[in-house]
Amino acid sequence: MSSLQYSPATFKPILEHLITSPKTFTQEEARLAFHHLGQDDFSGATPVQVGAFLMALKYSNKAHSPEIIASAADVMRSYAAKTEVQRDDGGQEPFVVDIVGTGGDEWNTFNVSTAAAIVAAGAGAKVCKHGSSATVSTSGSSDLLSALGCPLLAPTPSVIPSSLPFTFLHAAATQPSISRLEHVRKSLPFRTIFNVLGPLLNPTNPRGMVLGVYAKELGPVFAHALKESGKVERALIVCGQEGLDEISIAGSTWVWELNGVDGSVTESTIHPVLFGIEARPLETVVGSTPDANAKILMHLLSSGKEPLPPRDELPSSFSIDAVRDYVLINAAALLKVAGLATDWKDGVRLARESIDSGKALNALTMFRTWGRNQAA
């Protein structure tokens, strides 16, 4: 079906089938539906149809089907800005990794995935993080990087230099078709499939991922969705037992490890002690505003040379030592996925060296300089 054939009239029977017979709604029908949603200016489906479709997916439980999620992500990526990470001087395709969460955990912790991405990049990982502004928390990854002086590039660059260890892609710029649906999604009183699609939409198609989910039941769903996509070679899907979409500093974290080569998914539980790190209450790593979080991150990356925000800008229970440990364990996981760390403790060692040597700060500085040149 060409784009000229995607219309409200052709969407109607797909929607009708989902509503009347959801059990027989197929993966191919889901692909067709999302092609309709990808069209400009609601030419493929009216706002009312989009809302009805998202509601039908939700209440038929199809929104958490690995096959439907994988199909939806694949289709929506086809409408994304086209970008790729340049091959190295030897012509080798880089092993790009990403660390991302679904959001929605309502803990409002410090921007640990963004910080961990930068630290892992300083340790040698090729990180291309895909993220957005905050929806539930006070500071999303885009908000933090803007506060750090990094441009949110739009349009998205078509090529990312191989020399950059860390890059960030702003989701609103890479996914204009999804951005167009935002007012429909926000008018609905429930989470839609787009709340879980975000982590799967990185246009660089990373080969390794640490993916955080806010609910345990989503762990196997995402593991099998990534397996279904066939694009990811190694992944850790994680859920802190407090309902945290990161590796928890406070206690145990459920983990689903995907080996994309043989398709196996192994479930386990990890704890900060396995990283050689002391557990800390989550209240000690609660975040603040984007500006305050930016100062916290610069304090960490500069090994204390840059000042922390004034105490009255921080939560009363905040601990910079706890935040550092929180970043270290999540960076360690990304380094393990990247194939650079042999185990959790080795990952922490590499992450510490990245900070202490200044390489993590340099990774951020290189991206900021490149981004400003692109935006000029």
Q: Which residues of 89-106 are buried (b: 16+ CB within 10 A; e: fewer)?
A: eeeeebbbbbbbbbbbbe
Q: How far apart are CA 246 and CA 214, in angstroms?
A: 8
- Residues 203, 221, 225, 102: what is their CA dihedral angle, to the nearest 10 degrees? 0
CA–chain centroid gap for 224, Å, is 17
Q: How confident is the model at residue 24 (pLDDT cuts 50, 70, 90)?
A: very high
Question: In 10 A of CB 3, how many CB atoms?
Answer: 13
Residue-wise pLDDT for 85-113, tens only, equals 998 888 889 999 999 998 877 788 999 99
User: Residue 137 pLDDT > 90, yes or no?
Assistant: no
Residues whose CB falls within 8 Å of the CB of residue 311, separated by 6 or more in sequence, listed in order: none
The helix-helix angle for 218-229 and 66-78 (nearest 10°) equals: 50
Quick check: 76 and 38 in contact, CB under 8 A? yes
Least confident of 264-273, 310-319, 356-365: 310-319
CA–chain centroid gap for 235, Å, is 12
> Can you give the residue ranges of every domain in the chain?
8-79, 94-173+189-375
220: phi then psi, degrees, rounded to nearest 5: -65, -35
- The letter for the amino acid at 208 is G
Residue-wise pLDDT for 198-223, tens only, equals 899 999 999 999 999 999 999 999 99
Token couple for 208: 């390794």
Token couple for 157: 């660059």
Look at residue 136 in the predicted model and tell me its pLDDT.
62
Nearest residue to 74 via CA among 240, 234, 203: 203
**DSSP secondary structure letters along 140-206:** -HHHHHHHTT----SSPPSEE-TT-SEEEEEHHHH-HHHHTTHHHHHTSSS--THHHHGGG--TT--
- Residues 24, 17, 221, 51: what is their CA dihedral angle, to the nearest 10 degrees? -170
User: Residue 123 pLDDT > 90, yes or no?
Assistant: yes
Residues whose CB falls within 8 Å of the CB of residue 62, separated by 6 or more in sequence, listed in order: 18, 22, 25, 30, 56, 68
Q: How far is CA 112 from CA 51, 57, 108, in A?
A: 33, 31, 10
Average pLDDT, the chain: 94
Q: How confident is the model at residue 195 (pLDDT cuts 50, 70, 90)?
A: confident
Least confident of 136-145, 246-255, 319-328: 136-145
- Residues 319, 365, 93, 72: what is their CA dihedral angle, to the nearest 10 degrees? 60
Look at residue 4 in the predicted model and tell me its pLDDT.
56
Strand order in the sheet with 253-259: 166-170, 126-131, 96-101, 208-212, 234-240, 253-259, 264-270
CATH architecture of 94-173+189-375: 3-Layer(aba) Sandwich (3.40)
Q: To the nearest whole percent, how much of the chain has pLDDT over 90?
A: 81
Q: How confident is the model at residue 172 (pLDDT cuts 50, 70, 90)?
A: confident
H-helix segments, the chain: 8-20, 27-37, 47-59, 66-78, 112-122, 141-147, 171-174, 176-179, 182-186, 194-197, 218-229, 290-301, 320-337, 344-356, 359-375
Q: How far apart are CA 29 and CA 15, in angstroms?
A: 9
Q: How far is CA 180 from CA 1, 43, 45, in A?
A: 22, 12, 12
Nearest residue to 180 via CA among 40, 275, 53, 319: 40
Look at residue 135 in the predicted model and tell me its pLDDT.
66
Tell me the pairing of strands 253-259 and 234-240: antiparallel
CATH fold of the domain at 8-79: 1.20.970
Residue-wise pLDDT for 52-65, tens only, equals 999 999 999 999 99
